[in-house]
Structure formats: C-alpha cells, structure tokens
Amino acid sequence: MEVGGLGLPEIIVLLVVFLLAVGGPIVVIVALVIFLNRRKKSNTNMKKCAFCGYSIPTDATICQLCGR
C-alpha cells in the first residue's frame, strides 16, 4: 500500500509521531485539570484550628490534634 510515495512503515511512523505530538500534551493538560480540581475540592470543607493550625472540617467544634 502506497500513499503519495510513502510505504506502510513510513505511514505507521508518521501516525505514531502525530499521535504522540497531539495526544501527549492533551493527556498532560487533562491530568493537570483533574489534579487541580481534586485539590481544590478537598480544601473547601476545611479550616485551620485557631490554636494549633491543624486543618479540621469546617463543621468541627473540637480539633482532632489539640482537643480545643
């Protein structure tokens, strides 16, 4: 099979290079978005203890670390 003077091995190499060049950055961007989204969600329901600075849930009345 030849397309424009290129044989099958050359077509496969070009396809792999194209997929890596286009797909690689897309995968990195999606991974960063997912990571930052999870990080943002995990910190929204937390506050710092006024006495020791330990992160506790916003609805907590007693700190898990210092007991105040």
**What pLDDT band is residue 4 in, cutting at 50, 70 and 90?**
low
pLDDT of residue 34: 87
What's the predicted TM-score (pTM) here? 0.40
pLDDT tens digits for range 16-64: 888 889 888 888 898 888 888 876 665 568 888 999 989 899 898 899 8
Taking residues 1-25, report their average pLDDT: 81
Mean pLDDT for the stretch of residues 1-29: 82
Answer yes or no: is pLDDT of 5 > 80.
no
Q: Which residue, 45, 49, 48, is CA-closest to 59?
A: 45
Q: Are 66 and 54 in contact (CB under 8 A)?
A: yes
